[in-house]
């Protein structure tokens, strides 16, 4: 799932980010179904590695408010390096994300407070749990984190979310998550229900990788302030996509599509803005 584009509507521009719809603290996955008998294929888990990625996001927005453009589009690419260092301890692997650069498509407008130059070198460190959750994130610069707002990915759910013990082909599992996050002057609580299926092995640039299909539904609500205007937001959506995990435990990227409906209320102005948003996010693992 992509972060909803929130108060950008107040200045007739937009900013967004993130990808898969599963940040937060998950419930224990339900027992695997349709699994091959033990021994047919080894359980696959995330492993230490340093990888470079391109996160490509395209967002199309439609909104019903006379004071704003009826449609908006934002496209951008974010280059980053993800490092997972071993050995793991009881808290998981030491992990970090470092932003190399952000390039916005011509014609895409950003809120004036977003300084793309500040993105270079921005870093978030934390712990990667065995199930793929990036926990206890610590930003290198809180001001940069606030200025970049929703352009940054959801690092908590960047890696594939796996069942306890690992995953093998022909395995399905469910999980639910709840998280509260702040970004771009807002605080939003999101509830997600996800169904995942590890299907089969595929070739990804000459590397054998396990295909993991994801389908999710979610609701969210929150509030915040931008440019002195207080707002509340609530909405719901659905997403589906695919992720690839190499035999050696490296995340090889994937793609997700989201469709979201939301309502933004500005109580002091007596304004309500209905909005529909579709997004497409592609994560590509780059060669060293």
pLDDT of residue 179: 84
pLDDT of residue 184: 58
Model pTM above 0.75: yes
Dihedral pair phi/psi, residue 57, rounded to 5°: -125, 135
Residue range 115-161, pLDDT digits in tens: 788 889 999 999 999 889 999 999 998 888 877 767 788 898 899 99
* Closest residue by Cα to residue 285 from 99, 94, 82: 82
pLDDT of residue 11: 34
Judge if the upstream peptide bond of residue 155 is cis by omega within 30 degrees of 0.
no
Please write down the long-range contacts of 24-28, taking CB distance under 8 Å and 24 or more positions apart: 24/156, 24/177, 24/178, 24/179, 24/190, 24/192, 25/133, 25/177, 25/178, 25/179, 26/131, 26/133, 26/161, 26/175, 26/176, 26/177, 27/175, 27/176, 27/177, 28/164
* Low-confidence residues in the chain, pLDDT < 70: 1-40, 111-112, 149, 183-185
What the block records as the tokens of 230 is: 């207080």
Q: What is the domain partition of the chain in residue ranges?
A: 7-286
């Amino acid at each position: 799932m992509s972060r909803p584009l929130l108060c950008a509507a107040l200045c007739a521009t937009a900013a967004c980010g993130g990808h898969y719809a599963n940040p937060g603290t998950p419930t224990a996955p339900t027992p695997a179904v349709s699994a091959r008998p033990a021994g047919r294929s080894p359980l696959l888990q995330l492993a230490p590695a340093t990888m470079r990625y391109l996160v490509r996001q395209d967002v199309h927005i439609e909104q019903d408010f006379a004071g704003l453009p009826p449609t908006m589009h934002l496209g951008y690419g974010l280059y980053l390096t993800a490092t997972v260092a071993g050995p793991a301890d009881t808290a998981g692997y030491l992990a970090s994300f470092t932003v190399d650069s952000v390039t916005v498509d011509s014609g895409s407008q950003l809120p004036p407070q977003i300084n793309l130059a500040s993105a270079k070198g921005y870093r978030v460190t934390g712990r990667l749990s065995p199930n793929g959750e990036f926990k206890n994130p610590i930003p290198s610069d809180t001001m940069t984190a606030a200025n970049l707002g929703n352009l940054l990915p959801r690092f908590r759910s960047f890696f594939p979310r796996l069942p306890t013990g690992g995953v093998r082909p022909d395995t399905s599992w469910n999980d639910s998550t709840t998280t509260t996050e702040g970004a771009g002057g807002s605080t939003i609580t999101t509830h997600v229900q996800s169904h995942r299926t590890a299907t089969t092995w595929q070739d990804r640039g000459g590397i054998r990788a396990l295909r993991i299909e994801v389908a999710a539904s979610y609701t969210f609500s929150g509030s915040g302030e931008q440019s002195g205007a207080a707002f509340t937001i609530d909405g719901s959506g659905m997403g589906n996509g695919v992720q690839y995990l190499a035999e050696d435990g490296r995340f090889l990227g994937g793609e997700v599509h989201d469709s979201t409906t939301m309502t933004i209320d500005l109580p002091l102005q007596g304004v309500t803005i209905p909005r529909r948003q579709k997004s497409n996010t592609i994560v590509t693992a780059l060669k060293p």
